[in-house]
Structure 1
């Protein structure tokens, strides 16, 4: 005999807020839209530096972007600044133009 588990009467189930019904939604992981794979690293780096707000929509597919939003960028180990986007050749070492420190890849959560 198996008994069916019944949820208690005092639990109220609410819909998730901020999610539009029937609309396209996506996240940004490693600087790319999870729906269309558009490279959004330039916008994410501006948000990391505090120059702009994180993007609200993907510029290619128009999806509404929801957290988590993360960027893949280079960061200086000495002065701790987010300096540049990924170089064309990631196997080559890159150095900071401000202090000469070695740049390292980091995945940074923007929002």
Structure 2
């Protein structure tokens, strides 16, 4: 398992009930969201990111949720979980290419 990567928050729009969320950390399959709405463990959070290439749907299976301020200072919740069905193209749309994120990685085998 790789260490979580902290980066500029990636903005998301929550699909159920509206509201905002941000991806604040991620690793291979795990993710931490900052959200305006709570979500109980075991639930799935669905959100959309509006990027340059169009909308990207993000699904996160919730492992835990606690009250924590959002990156912009509003009251919110920290949601820890794992990505569900996130494709390479979706990952690139959210975080850029792998080579940009990890300059030490190569495609050689």
Which TM class, normalised by the smaller chain length? under 0.3
The answer to which structure has the higher strand fraction is 2
- TM superposition score normalised by structure 1: 0.27
- TM superposition score normalised by structure 2: 0.27
